[in-house]
Amino acid sequence: MLQLLRQELMTEFVIGFGLLAEIDLATARRVIEDPSREALAVASRACGFDRGAFATMALLANGGPRQVRKASDVAALLTLYDKLLVEAAKRTMRF
């Protein structure tokens, strides 16, 4: 999955993410394209992705490796991810 992002194969990444998260493709695309990355944090936590995988997805999804993000933004996202309980994320995904 992460290799798809590194190669900027977004369609393939969205399909794979949707399958892993057990959500339809339209929802997967919305999760991935959410500029705040909060939806991606919830879905990633619910899927059991580790912190490093989430960080890579948050950095590369919807912008690729050329888009620069501030270190403070990345730190805030990782803090959010760390605080999310897996069960709470799964419950959120069911709704």
Query: 17 is written with which tokens?
Result: 């993410």
pLDDT for res 15: 96
pLDDT for res 7: 92
Q: Supply the pTM of this predicted model.
A: 0.84
pLDDT for res 17: 95
Whose tokens are 């899927």? That residue is: 47
Picking from 77, 84, 71, the residue whose alpha carbon sits closest to that of residue 58 is 77
Three-state SS for 8? coil
Averaged pLDDT in 10-residue chunks for the chain of 95 residues: 91 95 94 90 94 89 61 84 91 84
pLDDT for res 75: 85
pLDDT for res 66: 54
